[in-house]
Structure 1
Amino acid sequence: FAVEPLDLLALGIQLERHGLDARALSVYRQAASLAPEWPEPYVAGLKVAQKLHDLEGIQWSTVGILSQVFPEKHQDVWLNALRTAKAALDELKAKNLEEQASRYQAALDEAVARDCVIEVSWLGEADVDVIVEEPAGTLCSLRNPRTTSGGVLVGDVSSRSARQGDEGYREYYVCPRGFSGTYRGLIRRVWGEVAGGKVKVTIHTHLLTDKARSMSKMVELKNDEAVIQFELADGRLQAPLNERMLAAAVTNHLELRNRILAQQLPAEQPPQVDPAAMASYYDSRSDGVGLGGGGAILPFLPIHGGAVGYAPQITLIPEGTYMDIAAVISADRRYVRINPVPYFSAITEVNTFNYVTGEGDQGLGGTGGQGFGGLFGGGMGGGLGGGFGGGFF
């Protein structure tokens, strides 16, 4: 029996192929309940619900899709769900199902809201990457564009792959439902020249809600890097933070273990391992009870070589100015050669976006409680244009 979300998703696909659409929709809903952060069950469920003309299934799937964030190349999936939701809402109102329409409207308002969005824009022929550390310890980057904490890196834009708009090139980090806490971002220039050596960073919190706030700041890239951080309050992800932090730590531990195992050679004794040296080492650790035979290795103690060991190394990085001086005295003790070496060390500047004191705020103000209805305020194009400069993302 299928118990994992991936197994249920595969089962639903097979049921759909055999014409059991109603059963497939039920299985997709089970998969979504086990893995609500997966967009696949909602996307597959919407297609089946439309085939069955199941209005309840359409409501469930559209709310699920609109609560997700999709990469730029899959934005048509999100927009299709947006249009389908508008049609379903109009159908409910046409049938005078006001109470059901009101509940659906509230669910859509909550689905399209975004707890936090980081927008990085720049001018010039260059590529800039964004890496975000979330409160649970998970990292959202190009190597891991979708995290278990809900964050998604939308697109990787550079001057070679995209056309420069009026405000330059942009990259986004979007977290629909995030943990409350501190979010830290690393902005790094990969190649090219950024105009003025600065990027524009805009932080949106509780976007498309009545608590929406936006702050913008020009951040200088010192040594091609800059660090930003901000606090998110009232995050909507209510899963225990300790469990997510533990899961992230376990994932990192397993990845490290797999890397170590991958570097080990086969079980046959490699030529670079000296059996005599291994026997001598064993004798030194065995309280005088040697292996005998002049250092022969026991047959039930196989020797594996080529493995790489890892141990944490704590390094103190001083901040400020200090100097080392080395002195050398000549052989006749008549001269002393002094070699002073000054050091200048500084911690990278951290740009903090503070919504309480307003430091660093350049006065964008809130976006107001737009919600789902605001997306259609001036038609499809006008509603989405109220997002981020001509498009929702």
Structure 2
Amino acid sequence: MNAVAGVAPTLVNPKVDPVADRRKLGTDPRTMWSNAIDRTVTDPGLIVACAEFLMEFEEYGHAAEVLKGNLRKGLATEAWAHEALGVALRAAGASPVEVERASVSGVDLDPGSAAAYLRAARAEADLKNHGRAVAFCRRAAACSPEDPTPYANALAYAERASDVRTDAVVWAANGLLARDWNTSDGIDYHEQARARLPKLEARLRDAGQGTEALTRAVAEQGRRDLVIELQWQGNADLDLVVSEPTGSVCSATHTRTTGGGVLKGDLLAQGADRSEVYAAARAFTGAYTVSVKQAFGRPLGGSARIKVTRFQGTDRQSVDLLEVPVGGKGVEVKLDGGSRTALAVLSEELGAVREVRSEAPGAGSGQSGLGAGFGTAGSALGAPVTSSGGVEAPLVSAPAETREAGISAGAADIRATYKLNPDRKSFRVDVTPVFTGTRGDIALPTVPLLPGGEK
């Protein structure tokens, strides 16, 4: 009998000779594994286990054929399968063209995924095609413009490229320096860019390319529409909360908003630094409400001070100092002439792309191995780590925020927030149209199904 855990045992067919079947498969890996998979395999977990076993014993050619057979039969067609095939082909010494084709084919499965383009960029960089790697980073940034990874990786690839292009370096530098990033992942992207740009500028100059645009980008990197810095004295920890004109709230639990605001603070690296900073490189015109919450301790005098800088780095720069009561009513800060006219796009892949931040020092890695969540080994690697109490969800769920485009060109954008309710079974969704920044009449769509909608 055949016995498999969790499956009812079945009788062995006496008319089937497994030894004879094995001989029929032949010895050529290109046909042997394809025929075996076509005839017997229906569980993608077996593909993972077999490929992982062969890789451990350095049978890279056989592992590549197993993965090819899997893709031909359509058992596991996710991005990890294409990436694993590229790894196996590279280890087997396949041609660079074949390795490249396998590694970047995962992009076709999800052309709107920034993570897919970043994986393709890494594959191109491994093949020394740094120019193509930068191009894939640009595609990733188009999918996720408010994430630093595409710009940071593009600078790293440009630094290694043999033919550095000025436009690529300027694009990556502008992408990193013109925005503020919450450094809770332990990476100071501004410092990383400033360390790489002098070397790139020297290489561009030696290659006879103009560096004026790059110099201008570095000179303008400190321009911000609005910067609010919270300062206090005493043995205490305070949290800065900024309510934006569009209704978004930037706080310690929601550090990036669709209004373009970013909160930097509550970092272990701060040490004795008693400050938190809210910055918006491009901010909406309107009234901002700034309040201060007490995390622990009590500051001297029971109050804190905020330093408000409008249009930092320009000839319109102005600075105000205001006292804010801790835990009391917030103070209003007005901004006239803000440069933002549309909601910022908050990518849903901010957590997912961390696994491909291989070019950023100090970045964490994602799942390893060929398991990718399939099979026993893959499930163990991909399973969430829980406490002894078995609590898998956080006790406090921070609200998530997103931006949806208007129903037609020129129409108002939609700001949507959703939050897990205390019952842990339902969500609360709030939808608000944002008309800030719209100019002129709003063009409404033609809806023939509604009375009067045909006009």
Does 2:265 align with 1:103?
Answer: no
2:304 corresponds to which of 199, 212, 230:
199
Q: Deviation per CA, 1:115-149: give whole Å up to 9, x if none.
A: 11111111111111111122222221111112232
* Cα deviation, residue 226, structure 1: 3.9
The verdict on how the C-alpha distance between 1:137 and 1:106 changes in structure 2, with shifts beyond 3 A counting, is: same
Q: Distance in 1 between matches of 2:334 and 2:150?
A: 32
SS at match of 1:200: strand
Name the counterpart of 1:181: 286
What residue identity is the alignment partner of 1:70? W
The verdict on how the C-alpha distance between 1:93 and 1:12 changes in structure 2, with shifts beyond 3 A counting, is: closer
The verdict on how the C-alpha distance between 1:120 and 1:34 changes in structure 2, with shifts beyond 3 A counting, is: same
What residue identity is the alignment partner of 1:185? V
Name the counterpart of 1:117: 227
Name the counterpart of 1:232: 335
Contact preservation (8 Å) 2:148, 2:189: no
Greater C-alpha radius of gyration: 1
Contact preservation (8 Å) 1:8, 1:28: yes
Contact preservation (8 Å) 2:155, 2:196: no
The verdict on how the C-alpha distance between 1:9 and 1:234 changes in structure 2, with shifts beyond 3 A counting, is: farther
The verdict on how the C-alpha distance between 1:262 and 1:225 changes in structure 2, with shifts beyond 3 A counting, is: same
Name the counterpart of 1:83: 195
Contact preservation (8 Å) 1:9, 1:27: yes
Name the counterpart of 2:20: none
What residue identity is the alignment partner of 1:263? K
Q: Counterparts of 1:1-393 in structure 2 under 5 Å?
A: 1=108, 2-53=111-162, 54-56=164-166, 57-72=168-183, 74=186, 76-89=188-201, 100-156=210-266, 163-164=271-272, 169-221=274-326, 224-239=327-342, 246-248=413-415, 250=416, 252=417, 255-256=418-419, 259=421, 262-263=424-425
The verdict on how the C-alpha distance between 1:179 and 1:247 changes in structure 2, with shifts beyond 3 A counting, is: same
Contact preservation (8 Å) 1:37, 1:150: no
SS at match of 2:309: strand
Contact preservation (8 Å) 2:137, 2:154: yes
Q: Deviation per CA, 1:16-54: give whole Å up to 9, x if none.
A: 344432222101112223432221110111111111041
The verdict on how the C-alpha distance between 1:119 and 1:226 changes in structure 2, with shifts beyond 3 A counting, is: farther
Q: Distance in 2 between matches of 1:203 and 1:310?
A: 32
Contact preservation (8 Å) 1:117, 1:204: yes
Q: Distance in 1 between matches of 2:252 and 2:244?
A: 15
What residue identity is the alignment partner of 1:206? F
* Cα deviation, residue 72, structure 1: 4.5
What residue identity is the alignment partner of 2:283? G
Contact preservation (8 Å) 1:204, 1:215: yes
Contact preservation (8 Å) 2:288, 2:332: yes
Q: Deviation per CA, 1:220-262: give whole Å up to 9, x if none.
A: 33xx3340221222222232699678532x3x2xx25x64995
The verdict on how the C-alpha distance between 1:309 and 1:138 changes in structure 2, with shifts beyond 3 A counting, is: closer
The verdict on how the C-alpha distance between 1:240 and 1:42 changes in structure 2, with shifts beyond 3 A counting, is: closer
Q: Distance in 2 between matches of 1:189 and 1:225?
A: 10
Aligned residues: 254
* Cα deviation, residue 79, structure 1: 1.1
* Cα deviation, residue 93, structure 1: 6.2
Q: CA RMSD in A?
A: 3.2
What TM-score, normalized to structure 2? 0.49
The verdict on how the C-alpha distance between 1:7 and 1:108 changes in structure 2, with shifts beyond 3 A counting, is: same
Name the counterpart of 2:385: none
What residue identity is the alignment partner of 2:112? V
Contact preservation (8 Å) 1:55, 1:88: no
* Cα deviation, residue 80, structure 1: 2.3
Q: Distance in 1 between matches of 2:422 and 2:188?
A: 41
The verdict on how the C-alpha distance between 1:102 and 1:20 changes in structure 2, with shifts beyond 3 A counting, is: closer
* Cα deviation, residue 162, structure 1: 5.1
The verdict on how the C-alpha distance between 1:34 and 1:210 changes in structure 2, with shifts beyond 3 A counting, is: farther
Gaps of 5+ in 1: 265-307, 312-393
What residue identity is the alignment partner of 1:36? P
The verdict on how the C-alpha distance between 1:87 and 1:115 changes in structure 2, with shifts beyond 3 A counting, is: farther
Q: Distance in 2 between matches of 1:238 and 1:246?
A: 10
What residue identity is the alignment partner of 1:186? S
The verdict on how the C-alpha distance between 1:126 and 1:104 changes in structure 2, with shifts beyond 3 A counting, is: same
Gaps of 5+ in 2: 1-107, 345-402, 406-411, 431-455
Contact preservation (8 Å) 1:113, 1:209: yes
| Identity over aligned pairs, percent | 24
SS at match of 2:195: helix
